[in-house]
Amino acid sequence: MADASTKKFDIAGTISHHFESAKIALLNTPYWVWPLPFLLCIVILLIRQSPVGWMTEKPVMEIIAPTIIGLTAILVLFVHRWTRELFTLMLACLVWALFMRELHFYGTGRGLYITVFVLAVMASYKRDELKEFLSQRAIGTLLPLALWTYFVSKLFDRHVFRSLPDYLLWHDNVEETLEASGHAFTLALVIMTLRYASLRIQKGEGNKKAAS
């Protein structure tokens, strides 16, 4: 009979493991990812003052953003159906959570945060299995860039920056365009995942399930 002490959940070891995973993720994220959404905010404000500033208006972006993430949601299903990898399954869950959130169904806002948390914990546990995908520069860059850009857009949605000059005049433009940019980065992420997965399959390194 096994010692009862060995059956106890190792809380300290689990916390240490997740902290290490977070450290790895942060250290592997290019430094320029962090300021980029804020630089995009400046670009959006400049575009807003230009003749094509109407493109940043909320009614326009509420058409563009769902279209981008909707196409991404369809593509990611194809990618996972073809590759059958754990990474593409988790990516599909993330994309569909974003898509449902974009459609503004009741509870999808909180559902997105829960999905991101669950996927982050799962990714920590499965980091060795996911390493091959995440070690690819394009994938390892676009994933945090998409999530960080989306997070910054939510800061504007929560009016964290309301103390800035004339905030009420331009915050919708920045928030909606930044959110659409996050969706665009997500689409690029799925495309690069498809590209890498196709190269693996061509080399005979893909998931054996994909061949069946």
Give the distance from CA 153 to its chain's centroid: 13
pLDDT-based confidence at residue 1 (cuts at 50, 70, 90): very low
The distance in angstroms from the start CA to the end CA of the chain is 42
Whether the pLDDT of residue 22 is over 60: the answer is: yes
Whether the pLDDT of residue 106 is over 90: the answer is: no
pLDDT-based confidence at residue 17 (cuts at 50, 70, 90): confident
Distance CA(6)–CA(10), nearest Å, equals: 9
Q: If we measure between CA atoms, which residue out of 145, 151, 155, 154 comes closest to residue 189?
A: 145
Distance CA(131)–CA(128), nearest Å, equals: 5
Distance CA(196)–CA(65), nearest Å, equals: 26
Q: In 84-136, which ranges are continuous DSSP H helix?
A: 86-102, 108-125, 127-134
pLDDT of residue 7: 55
Buried b (16+ CB within 10 A) or exposed e, 135-156: ebeebbbbbbbbbbbbebbbeb
Buried b (16+ CB within 10 A) or exposed e, 57-74: eeeebeebbbebbeebbe
Tokens in use for 163?
A: 């103390």
The residue with tokens 């994309």 is: 95
Whether the pLDDT of residue 3 is over 80: the answer is: no
Question: What is the residue extent of each domain of the chain?
Answer: 70-204
Global pTM value? 0.89
Which amino acid makes up residue 14?
Answer: T
Distance CA(209)–CA(15), nearest Å, equals: 33
